[in-house]
Amino acid sequence: MENLRKKIVKIDQKIVKLLGERMKVAKKIGDIKKKAGIPIWDKQKENELRKLHDEAGKKDGLTPKFINKLFDVVFEESRRIQKSEKIE
């Protein structure tokens, strides 16, 4: 069981690293949107991503409820970062 727990820690660390990378990209997108006068929140794009993530999650045995809760937080943080001057 200890080996499995260590594996989970490694996976979690990869998830955190990928989320950090995602937020850096989100910040760049936010900078572009600001310069172009485009609103930060794009409901249509978010809905497209949610559908894509739901489908991917189903393939890995994840429920849409879980995926949506997860991406509620991810999208909220992305919007916060896009509005800010820097990633904190």
Q: What are 49's two structure tokens?
A: 């991503």
3 state DSSP class of 57 = helix
- Rounded CA-CA distance 26/68 in Å is 18
pLDDT tens profile 19-68: 999 999 999 999 999 999 999 999 999 999 999 999 999 999 999 999 99
Number of residues in the chain: 88
Assign domain 2-83 one CATH number from 1.10.3720.10, 2.30.30.230, 2.60.40.650, 1.20.59.10.
1.20.59.10
pLDDT interval class at 84 (50, 70, 90) = confident
Q: At 10, is the secondary structure helix, strand, or coil?
A: helix
Q: Where are the domains of the chain?
A: 2-83
Q: pTM for the full model?
A: 0.87
